[in-house]
Structure 1
Amino acid sequence: MSISLREAVAIGTLLVGLTASYFKGQADSERTARLIAKEVLSENMDTVTYRLGELSDGLGHVQRKLDELRDRLVR
């Protein structure tokens, strides 16, 4: 079984959104990721670009949390 590039992007986006929502503790990132995946699959790239900007805010928070975790592990 193979998947298309669009499907792979949609799946990856969902995983990123789920990760962001886990670390952020809010459903906003997950909801945004689901919207992005839906738009990727429907090939509405203007909306995808807009939603990726929203998701990047959640990813910034994930990066900070990962940095904090790394610092704790190093101590």
Structure 2
Amino acid sequence: MVNTLWLVRKLGDFSSDLVNEERDVVVLLQDAVLRFPTKKGWFLCKEDAQARGVKFPEGSAKSYEEIAELIIQAKKVVVW
């Protein structure tokens, strides 16, 4: 189960210090995909990354469908 799901649209406005639990998940959306996730539990939105020509390793991206499932599973969702 996901404790807090962080949906981040712009990294400049987001502090990674807010993510402090093992079961937190961060998904970078829109222009935030331009900065690759380097931490455990951080993912790119697959479709947003592809639209911007961002290359990403296998397993580091979540599709819209997978993100929707995470929203359902999460105790709390925060859009940043």
TM-score normalized with structure 2 length: 0.29
Larger strand fraction of residues: 2
Larger helix fraction of residues: 1
TM-score normalized with structure 1 length: 0.31
